[in-house]
Amino acid sequence: MNRLLLLLAGAALSANAYGQRALPACQIMDADTVCRIFVYSPGDKDGLHLAYLDETEKWVDAGQLCGSDYSRWGSEKRMYNPYVTHAADGTWRAVWSVNDYAPCFAVAYSEDLVTWRPQDYPKVSVKGVQRPVVFQMDDGSFDIYLRSASGKRHVHASNDFRTFKESPEPSTIDDVAWITDTATVGQKRFEGNIFDVPKLHLDYIFSYFDALAADAEKNRVTMRDDKERFKDLPATVTASLTVDAGKTKAISDKLVGIFFEDISYAADGGLYAELVQNRDFEYSSSDRNEWNALTAWEHSKGVRVETAQPLSKVNPHYVVMRADTLYNIGWDGIADKGAAYDFSMYARMMADVAKQMTVALVADDGTVMAEGKLKVAGREWKRYALALTTDTKKRAKLYGGEVRNCRLVIVGKKEAEVALDMISLFPHDTYKGHGLRKDLAETIAALKPKFVRFPGGCMSHGEGIDNIYHWNHTVGPWQDRVPDKNIWHYHQTRGLGFYEYFQFCEDIGAEPLPVLAAGVPCQNSGPDKDGFGGQQGGIPMEDMPAYCQEILDMIEWANGDPAKSKWAKMRADAGHPEPFNLKYVGIGNEDIISTVFEERCLMICKAIKEKYPDIVVCGTVGPFHDPSADYIEGWRFAKENSRYIDMVDEHYYESPGWFLNNQDYYDGYDPKAPKVYLGEWASRTRTMESALVEAMHLCHIEKNADVVVMTSYAPLLCKEKHHNWNPNMIYFDNTNITLTPSYHTQKLFSVNGGDRYVASTLRVPEGLENRVAASVITDSKSGKKYVKLVNALPSTLKLNVSGLDISGNTAIEGFQGMPADKAVQPADGVKVEGSAITLPPYTVVCVAM
C-alpha cells in the first residue's frame, strides 16, 4: 500500500468520506486547521488506540494504531499504561510496560501514528517495570522514567530511539512526571495523551484505516458465492492471449522448491524413517509437560532410568532392566507392511555376565510378526544389531495381507541387569538407503523441487536463546547429537540432521538452503530465567563472534576439503568425501526487525560475505507482507545492506480472496534491490479454491521471476492427529499419504519450469480480470515452451492464442475440480484446437510444446 497516495487521499477527504464517523471538532491554529486526538489503550489486550474529539465535544474511538508484539501469543502480548510523546521533528515515541515481572519495557517509533517501526524492549536492572513515561530533551534525545517495586529508574534514549542506557543510580524525579491526560471514551474514563494535530493528518489516518478495511472486505471474497456472483455469465467465456515471442527476459530457473520444517511431526515420526519413539530416553517435561524419559515405553516390571554412566554426555538417560519386557508403541503404533527391518541398540551389562535377549515385532492382537535374538556381554557400551523379517505367510493367513499395527518388544531372559540406549528400528528399504521413509520421500521428489529450505522456520530460531538450532549439534553419530525440545511442543532426536538434509537434497537433485538463526530467538518466546521474553535481548554481543564462526564452520563442513578442514573431514567420515557445493544460506526467519535483530543479523551476513563472497545470503523481512512494520523495516535494512544481503525471505499466509485481489503484488518491485525468496506462503484452505488462486499467483510470479527468484509453499508435511498448522501440502499417517490440491499446483509449476519469460497480453471480459491467469515461459536447455493457464470461473473458458503456434504436438498436463473439493480430477476436458485452448470451469493446466 502506497502511503504517499494515502496521504494525498487524506488531503482530499471530504465530509462524505467520513461515512458513519462523526465529524471532528476543528479549530484554526497558526493558519492550520487542527483537531484534537487522544492516544490511549482501552485494555491491556487492545493495544494503542486513537480517539478524536467530535463536533459534539465527545471522544470517539477511531481504531487501533498498534499492538504489543512482546513474548508469547495470547497471554503475553499485552500493553499496560502506554505513554506517547510528539517529538520536535514531528515523529512519535511510545513506551509501555509489558507485564509485572519482566526486566524490560517496550518502546516504539512512528512517523505518522499508523506505521510503527518494529518494537524494541530495552532491558533494565529491575524487574516488574511499571508506567514508563518519556520526555524529549533540548538536544533531541529522550529521558524515560519508570517505576518498579524497588523504586524509580531513569533510562536515556538516543534521538533515533534505538540506543538505551540506564542510569546506575535510582531516579529522584518528582511524581508529577507521571501525570497523564484523561478522557472519557464510550462512557469509560481512560488515561492517555492528548495532542492537537492538523486535520490533514487526521484525514490521513482515517483514509489509512478505510483502505485497510476496504482491502479486508475485498479479501473476504470466496468462490463459494460464485453461483450467485456469476449467475448471468454465459456457459462459455471467450478471451484472448497475445504472445510477443520476440520480447523475452531471463528468469530464475530455481523458482519452485520446497520448505521442510519439523512441524506437525514432519521429521521424527514422519520423513525420518525411525519407527521407535523416544529411542534415546531423552523425552522430558521441557518437550511437553506430561512427558518423561519413559514416554512411549511400557514395561512389565521395575525398569528404571539412570544417568550415572551414559553412552554419551549429551544423551545422558538410559534404561536398566532385568528379566523384564520392554515395549515401544512407536509413532501411533508401528505399521507392519510385511517388510524387513533393521534393529539396533546400544547395551552394556551391569555385571560380568552375559544376557540373552529377544527382540520382536508384535501385532496389536499379540501375534508375533517377526522375532530375533541377540546376546549382550561386557560392561562397556556396544552396538548390537539384527535383522527382523515379517513372517509373510503367517501375515497372509491371519490378516489377508492387511497392514497390522504393532509394538516393538524387547525381552530380557535373566535377572542380570543390562543397560540399554538408542534403541532403533528402521525399515530396511528406505529412500536410496539414506534413512528416510520411502513413500514420503518419493512423493516429495516427484515435485522436482529446485531447492530445499531446512530445517525450519520457527524451529530454526527456537523458543528462547537456549533453544536456537545449532547445526553442529545435529551431525556425527546418533549418540553424540544433542537432542532438544521442538518449538512446536515435542522432541527432536536430531536423527534427521544436517547431514541427512544435505544428502536428501543431493538425492532429489535440489539445492540445499539451510536457514540459521540471526542471533535472536523467536519473538514469540516465553520468558527466560530472568523473566525476559520475546527475543530475550538476542545472543549476548560478546558471544556473537563464536556464533558467527559456527555458521562459517557449517559452510566449511558442506564445501571444504577433508584434507585441510576438520569440519570437512567430519563430513567425509560420515560417508560423503565430496563437497555438497552449498550456494545459499538463509539468516533469520520471519523475525521482528528490531534493533537487536539488525545488529546481529548484519554481523553474521558480513562474516559470511567476507570469508565466502560467492555464497548467496538470504535475509528476512518479517512474518507478514506490506504494510506490516517488519516488512517495511526489513526491506529498508536489506536495501541499506545489499552488499551483504543478496535476497530476502518474504512470508505470508492469506485468504483466497487476498490472492485474487493481489495478483499484481510484485509488479512494482525494484529489480535492482535484493531479490525475493517467497519462503513461506499459502492460501488458507485445503481445497481446490486455494490451488486455483495459488496457481494464479504463480503465473504472476513467473512474470516477475527476475525479481522473485525462489518460492516454497509451507508447511510441507503434516502427520494426521498431530496438526500444529493448517493447511499443509501433504498429509500422512503410518500407511497413507493424502495430497492436497495445492500439491498439484506446486508440482505443475515446478516440473514445467523454464528460464525465460515470454511477454504476453491476456484480454478477458470486463470484471473477470482476476479470475483468469496466463504465463508463457521457455526452457533454453530443452527448447520447450510452456503455457500455463488458470480458469477460476464457473464457466468454460475459450482462449484464442496468437503469436505462438499451438497447433503442433502439444502435451497437456493439469487438473480441475469444484472450489470446495479436497481432491482434484484430471483436466480431461482441456482441448487444443487450431489456435484455441478450451478449459473447463475451475481448471489449472500447462500446455507444453
Q: Walk me through the domains of the chain, giving residue ranges and CATH numbers.
A: 3-215 (no CATH), 297-429 (2.60.120.260), 450-645 (3.20.20.80)
pLDDT at residue 10 is higher than 50: no
Q: Which residues contact 389 (CB under 8 A, 6 or more apart)?
A: 339, 340, 341, 370
Q: What is the residue-averaged pLDDT of the chain? A: 95
User: What confidence category does residue 19 fall into, taking pLDDT thresholds of 50, 70 and 90?
Assistant: low
| Phi-psi category of residue 208: left, alpha or beta, with phi > 0 → left and psi -120 to 50 → alpha | alpha
Q: Is 372 helix (H, G, I), strand (E, B) or coil?
A: strand
pLDDT at residue 535 is higher than 70: yes
DSSP state of 589: S
Report the chain's C-alpha Rg in angstroms: 30
**Residues forming a β-bridge with 344:** 385, 424
How many CB atoms are closer than 10 A to CB 220? 11
Note whether 68 and 98 are within 8 A (CB).
yes
d(CA 102, CA 379): 50
- Note the pLDDT of residue 371: 96
- Phi and psi at residue 553, in whole multiples of 5°? -60, -35
DSSP state of 610: H
Selected catalytic residue, list 76, 261, 590, 813: 590
Nearest to 819 by CA among 726, 731, 690, 683: 690
- Note the pLDDT of residue 338: 84
User: What confidence category does residue 403 fall into, taking pLDDT thresholds of 50, 70 and 90?
Assistant: confident
- Note the pLDDT of residue 18: 60
User: What confidence category does residue 13 fall into, taking pLDDT thresholds of 50, 70 and 90?
Assistant: very low
- Cis bond leading into 122, ω under 30°? no
Q: Which amino acid is at 604?
A: I
Nearest to 836 by CA among 797, 800, 788: 800
Mean pLDDT of 427-440: 98
Which of the residue ranges 140-154, 402-416, 608-622 would you say has the lowest mean pLDDT?
Answer: 402-416
- Note the pLDDT of residue 223: 98
Which of the residue ranges 187-191, 390-394, 783-787, 796-800 would you say has the lowest mean pLDDT?
Answer: 390-394
Q: Is 775 helix (H, G, I), strand (E, B) or coil?
A: strand
- Note the pLDDT of residue 414: 84
pLDDT at residue 460 is higher than 50: yes
Nearest to 317 by CA among 281, 287, 276: 281
Q: All 3 cell numbers of residue 800?
A: 484464442
Beta-sheet pairing, 297-299 with 355-363:
unpaired
pLDDT at residue 15 is higher than 60: no
Which of the residue ranges 17-31, 372-386, 485-499, 702-716 would you say has the lowest mean pLDDT?
Answer: 17-31
pLDDT tens sequence across 219-265:
999 999 999 999 999 999 999 999 999 999 999 999 999 999 999 99
pLDDT tens sequence across 512-524:
999 999 999 999 9
d(CA 44, CA 661): 34
User: What confidence category does residue 5 fall into, taking pLDDT thresholds of 50, 70 and 90?
Assistant: very low
pLDDT tens sequence across 652-673:
999 999 999 999 999 999 999 9
Nearest to 370 by CA among 386, 389, 357: 389
Beta-sheet pairing, 511-516 with 584-587:
parallel
Tell me which H or E stretch contains 370.
Answer: strand 368-376
Which of the residue ranges 224-233, 394-403, 440-449, 659-668 would you say has the lowest mean pLDDT?
Answer: 394-403
pLDDT tens sequence across 285-316:
999 999 999 999 999 877 999 999 999 999 99
Note whether 135 and 142 are within 8 A (CB).
yes
pLDDT at residue 6 is higher than 70: no
- Note the pLDDT of residue 73: 87
Note whether 237 and 793 are within 8 A (CB).
yes
Beta-sheet pairing, 675-683 with 708-713:
parallel
> E strands, 211-260, where?
236-250, 258-259
Output helix, strand, coil percentages for the chain, rounded to the nearest 5: 20, 35, 45
pLDDT at residue 504 is higher than 70: yes
- Note the pLDDT of residue 814: 98
d(CA 712, CA 681): 7
Going across the sheet that includes 616-620, the strands are 258-259, 451-454, 511-516, 584-587, 616-620, 647-654, 675-683, 708-713
The torsion angle over the Cα atoms of residues 442, 448, 449 and 450, rounded to 10 degrees, is 140
- Note the pLDDT of residue 11: 44
Note whether 764 and 793 are within 8 A (CB).
no
- Note the pLDDT of residue 394: 82
State percent of the chain over pLDDT 70: 98
User: What confidence category does residue 337 fall into, taking pLDDT thresholds of 50, 70 and 90?
Assistant: confident
DSSP per-residue codes, 315-344: B--EEEESS-EEEE-BTTBEEE-S-EEEEE
d(CA 49, CA 42): 7
* 282 part of the active site: no
Mean pLDDT of 613-636: 96
What b/e sequence results for 566-591 when a residue is b if at least 16 CB atoms lie within 10 Å of its CB, and e otherwise? ebbbbbbebebeebbebbbbbbbbbb
DSSP per-residue codes, 395-414: HHHHHTT--EEEEEEEEE-S
d(CA 286, CA 295): 13
pLDDT tens sequence across 769-804:
999 999 999 999 999 999 999 999 999 999 999 999
pLDDT tens sequence across 705-724:
999 999 999 999 999 999 99
